[in-house]
A and B are shown apart, each in its own frame.
Chain A
């Protein structure tokens, strides 16, 4: 199915879900659960927690699908945002001092470089790819690490081997440059 047709089908299913049509929720699940589960697993690193979060996501979609506004957001972006936010909330609720998942350690630059390759598919992705490409490598890595892996400033600073304050200012400057570039 073409991206536009997919988007339309999902938006339609969300509208039907908001009207209380259960089969529409199933359709949304079938179309999106692998993507959303991938996002949750990436942030949480544990299958059981990611399953719990995914369950919460679809239950909340059922209960709050009325909050979707096709004029303001693309359905998959809206759903992915719910999944990311739930997963991040969950990871922040873990008891303090718990280490991030094994495999989360290591330099942040490499995963971001490979991640960027996949962005070249669609127009919007290409623009983000180009604008991320204008950032310095440690900042680009930190943005991808935060967004995709759910790392806090503190973890990013530790991984990058820089003080917390430096990481905060890197990311804030990177965000400002990113917005300026995307709006050019």
Chain B
């Protein structure tokens, strides 16, 4: 604890440190001591568990994001020696190039589409494989130099699109806005994006224009988005939708 609000008793001090540990606000040194204390001090551990329970519902406010399809294979490879009968050879500490984010930056839309299929499959726990639902499309949004900036998974039936930034866009003080451009049509605003965080945008109206070969594009706009209903800033990334 510190110079401020000294705890009124040792018991309060333990609890407050436990709460600060769970909240994650302790400075690195204090956090390391707290982590060590978890092992050695059952009272402290119990307080930490209490606070985990109290604050746990906050994690329900975070939108779930399916991890990339290759991740389970990475975990399996890490654990292969522990699984009897596995013939997977592992090289501890080494990762194959196709596991890295580099894939997501350079992959073709086709391989991303295949990967997204696996994501959908993985997302159906304990059910037999089914054909991918119609209306689900993916796009890799690339900058003019070929660098992938965003990966989008769109579900037209539900009217939603999840957009994951895969490498930092230079927003230069402006805000990325997502557009859909139907084949032979005009851009329609979908919603504002993050530059570092995945975002789920629900926009049933605009996304009804989603068909394979339609274009998703990101332009830089003033906070709150373009007021004209059309992109006004530079387009920093675009990519065609592919059906799954």
A144 lies within 8 A of B65 (CB): no
- Inter-chain CA distance A45–B165, complex, in Å, is 9
Interface SS of A by simple majority: helix
B-side contacts of A47, CB under 8 Å:
68, 101, 104, 164-166, 198
Taking residues whose C-beta sits less than 8 angstroms from the other chain, chain B's interface range is 35 or more
A169: B residues at CB distance < 8 A: 4-5
Distance to closest chain A CB from B179 (angstroms): 19
- Interface residues as binary, B80-103 with A (CB distance below 8 Å gives 1, 0 otherwise): 001100000000000000001100
Chain A residues in 8 Å Cβ range of B123 = 30, 34
Answer whether A175 and B52 are a contact pair too, CB < 8 Å, given A54-B71, A148-B62: no
Please name all residues of chain B whose beta carbon is closer than 8 Å to the beta carbon of A104 when the two chains form the complex: 196
Cβ–Cβ contact A72 & B198, under 8 A: no
B19 within 8 A of A: yes
Tell me which of A115, A147, A156 has the highest count of chain B C-beta atoms within 10 A of its own C-beta: A147
Interfacial chain A residues near B15, Cβ < 8 Å: 179
Chain A residues positioned under 8 Å from B5 (CB to CB): 168-169, 172-173
Complex contact B197–A77 (CB within 8 A): no
> Please, which residues of chain B bring their CB within 8 A of the CB of A178?
54
List, in ascending order, chain A residues with CB within 8 A of B65's CB: 34, 37-38, 41
B106 to nearest A CB, angstroms?
13
> B227 in the interface, Cβ–Cβ < 8 Å?
no
Question: B100: which A residues are within 8 A, CB to CB?
Answer: 48
Confirm or deny: B126 has a beta carbon within 8 angstroms of a beta carbon on chain A. Answer: yes
Question: A residues within 8 A CB of B66?
Answer: 33-34, 37
Which residues of B lie under 8 Å from residue A165 when comparing CB positions? 3-4
A101 to B165, CA, bound (A): 12
Which A residues are CB-close (under 8 A) to B64?
Answer: 34-35, 37-38
Which chain A residue shows the least CB distance to B2? A168
Q: What are the 8 closest A-B residue pairs judged by CB atoms, nearest first?
A: A101-B196, A34-B64, A125-B57, A48-B101, A115-B61, A45-B196, A30-B125, A118-B61
Q: Which residues of B contact A (CB under 8 A)?
A: 2-5, 15-16, 19-20, 22-25, 27-28, 31, 49, 52-68, 71-72, 74-75, 78-79, 82-83, 100-101, 104, 122-123, 125-126, 164-166, 168, 171, 194-198
Given A27-B126, A119-B58, 12 new contacts (CB under 8 A): A33-B71, A34-B66, A38-B65, A102-B171, A102-B194, A124-B57, A165-B3, A165-B4, A171-B20, A172-B16, A175-B19, A179-B54
